[in-house]
Amino acid sequence: MCTRRRMLSSTARAAAAILLAPAIAESKPQAFQETQPTTANGGTGPYPIPWLDKNGSHNQPAGPNLEPSHIYHFKGRVARCSTFTGMGTDNRGNRIAFGAPTTDYGVMDGEYWAARSAQHGTFTHI
Amino acid sequence: MFQGPVAPANQIHDFHPPIADSGLYWVVPVPAGGLDVSGDGKTWTLQMKDVPIVDQPHWPALDAVATPARMSFKMAWKSTGEPAIYVDAAKQFRFTGTRASCQMEAQVEVPSIGFSWKSDPLDTSHADIAVMGEEVNGRYFS
């Protein structure tokens, strides 16, 4: 049923829409004009190696016949190490060991592909 | 880091950078000059200071709380000269290099809990597995 209250309400919404319509129509082109033209090629950060480890992460274990790099679409220098062990001391004088079979580090230095072009950089996995 | 024998129950700290939105795993850029390669290419030394990291003592639990921390370190790889060649056509990578030794000294700080730690000197640490060389993968693999 179309009550008087409902009729007034819908009339008010229609009036508001008519009043706002020119503002909306004008604001869109203005917003586009203020946006500087840019490319849309994706970020320049490196891609991870696609394969997943047992934790569901893009983390490559270090070891014989395992890929040393953490960056995909890469060519360059790579160094890798794992199963690190060492000792240290905290600020309370406690002797605390660091390292475990999965403690690994790496460095990658060279060219990689991102944003549809060759990029250059040095990265470390720590 | 472990208090006592190395076992998950004894882990008291786990330091690493956050995983990137891209999925890139615990990888951060190295500032210019951070990697030094000796003239003969047989020794690589990586040094960085105050790298923003997190401390996640309960890693790898999905709900492991990450507390902001920072790390400074020096890491040195030295080639043994023994060849190491890894090739996997299915995974599109080829590594050509040598086996190496690797040692590290580091210090970490977790300011919010008043914790800091400094390792013993570089030559007291040890890595069972280390390699260094050249790699191509992905679109560069052929």
Tens digit of each residue's pLDDT (9 = 90 or more) over A13-68: 555 555 455 555 555 566 667 788 888 999 999 999 999 888 889 998 888 999 99
**ipTM strictly over 0.90?**
yes
- The answer to whether residues A60 and A113 belong to one domain is yes
- The answer to whether residues A24 and A57 belong to one domain is no
Contacts of B130 in chain A (CB under 8 A): 79-82
- In angstroms, what is the C-alpha Rg of chain A? 29
Number of domains in chain A: 2
Owning domain of residue A72: 47-125
- The answer to whether residues A116 and A84 belong to one domain is yes
Closest Cβ opposite residue B100 in set A70, A79, A91: A79
Q: Which residues are bridge partners to B69 per DSSP?
A: B53
A93 by DSSP, 3-state: which?
A: coil
What is the number of other CB atoms lying within 10 angstroms of the CB of residue B43? 16
DSSP B60: T
Q: In sequence order, what DSSP letters do the residues of B63-91 get, joined into one string? A: T---EEEEEEEEEEEEEEEEEEEEEETTT
- The answer to whether residues A119 and A93 belong to one domain is yes
- The answer to whether residues A79 and A62 belong to one domain is yes
Closest Cβ opposite residue B26 in set A65, A121, A125: A125
CA-to-CA distance for B142 and B138, rounded, in angstroms? 9
Closest Cβ opposite residue B46 in set A87, A107, A111: A107
Question: Which residue of A lies nearest to B51 if distances are taken between CA atoms?
Answer: A126
What are the pLDDT digits (tens) for B103-133?
999 999 999 999 999 999 999 999 999 999 9
Inter-chain contact A78–B135, Cβ cutoff 8 Å? yes
Task: State the sign of the Cα–Cα–Cα–Cα dihedral A37, A42, A43, A44.
Answer: negative
What is the reported pLDDT for B9? Answer: 83
To test the contact with chain A by mutation, choose from B26, B43, B55, B79 the residue with the greatest count of A C-beta atoms within 10 A, namely: B26
DSSP B2: B
**Element housing A25 (H / E):** helix A4-34
What is the reported pLDDT for B129? Answer: 95
C-alpha count within 13 angstroms, C-beta hemisphere, residue A32? 5
What is the reported pLDDT for A1? Answer: 47
Contact between B135 and A78 (Cβ < 8 Å): yes
- The answer to whether residues A54 and A76 belong to one domain is yes
Q: Which residues are bridge partners to A84 per DSSP?
A: B127
What are the pLDDT digits (tens) for A70-111?
999 999 999 999 998 899 999 999 999 998 888 999 999 999
Tell the residue number behind the tokens 């000796």, with chain if given.
B38
- The answer to whether residues A70 and A99 belong to one domain is yes
How distant is the Cα of A39 from the closest Cα of chain B, in angstroms?
Answer: 19
- The reply to whether A51 touches chain B by the CB within 8 Å rule is yes
Cα–Cα distances (Å) from B37 to A26, A79, B97, in that order, read: 59, 11, 15
- In angstroms, what is the C-alpha Rg of chain B? 17
What is the reported pLDDT for A29? Answer: 61
What are the pLDDT digits (tens) for B3-54?
878 787 888 999 999 999 999 999 999 999 999 999 999 999 999 999 999 9
- The answer to whether residues A117 and A62 belong to one domain is yes
